[in-house]
Amino acid sequence: MARLIRLWKPHGVLSQFTSADGRPTLKSLLDVADVYPAGRLDLDSEGLLLLTDSGALQARIARPGSGFAKRYQVQVEGQPDPATMEQLCRGVVLKDGPARALAARVIAAPDLPERDPAPRPRPGRGSCWLEIELDEGRNRQVRRMCAAVGYPVLRLVRVSIGPWTLAGLQPGNWRAETLHAPVSARAASRPRRPPDRPPGTRSNGRRPDRSRASRTRRGS
């Protein structure tokens, strides 16, 4: 059993509970003992931050390639073309190694609370919104990837991690839940078998020929 908290981290708040220089921290938003962030968002970024009292769950969510994909809505300066979006998916080279998006696309401006201060592009550049999905979360990775293809980030909001989203939250709000069983990112995203298909059958309703499969495995 584990306790999990979904928090909408606002812009300008550190993803930790203490600060040596007096900057705002998570302590200003929630007073819950023995929970720790599963991954981070940088000071300038906003959106979903997960906290838990389970070290195993914390490590599993934060570990690259764990299956808990992270989805971001990102306002960038300029208007990326399709070739740029393809480049983000093919991969770019950062100082700490290659990085690529699982998915990247241009989207309509999302319905998000206004940020103070509001991000502003340079004169004549304009801006647009992207949705980017990653299977890892290196330090400022989305910002560095977008900069690498020539489109600096003006605003970044993480909207989901695996099955968890910002649903029902506003900046600075949080909700807690109790997990009674281990969470599997793959199980959460795996499509269920249609209810009218008997277990062990193909999509055409026929049961597989197990004797034939057995002969094939033996090299017959």
Domain boundaries 1-66+163-190, corresponding CATH code: 3.30.70.580
The CATH architecture one would assign to domain 69-161 is: 2-Layer Sandwich (3.30)
- Look at residue 157 in the predicted model and tell me its pLDDT: 98
What is the overall mean pLDDT for the chain? 86
Residue 18 is encoded by which pair of tokens? 């203490």
Do 1-66+163-190 and 69-161 have matching folds? yes
pTM of structure: 0.81
Question: What is the DSSP-derived secondary structure letter of residue 21?
Answer: T
Where in the chain are the domains?
Answer: 1-66+163-190, 69-161
Q: pLDDT, tens digit, for every residue of 121-179?
A: 999 999 999 999 999 888 999 999 999 999 999 999 999 999 999 999 999 999 999 99
Query: Which band of pLDDT confidence, cut at 50, 70 and 90, is reported for residue 189?
Result: very low
Q: Cα–Cα distance between 57 and 63 in angstroms, integer? A: 10
Q: pLDDT, tens digit, for every residue of 100-137?
A: 999 999 999 999 999 999 999 999 999 999 999 999 88
Q: Is 19 or 181 the better-scoring residue by pLDDT? A: 19
**Alpha-carbon dihedral angle through residues 82, 85, 89, 94, given to the nearest 10 degrees:** 140
For residue 183, pLDDT beyond 50: yes
Q: pLDDT, tens digit, for every residue of 46-97?
A: 999 999 999 999 999 988 877 899 999 999 999 999 999 999 999 999 999 9
- Look at residue 63 in the predicted model and tell me its pLDDT: 86
Which residues are tagged catalytic?
Answer: 42
Contacts of 159 (CB under 8 A, 6+ apart): 47, 48, 71, 72, 73, 165, 166
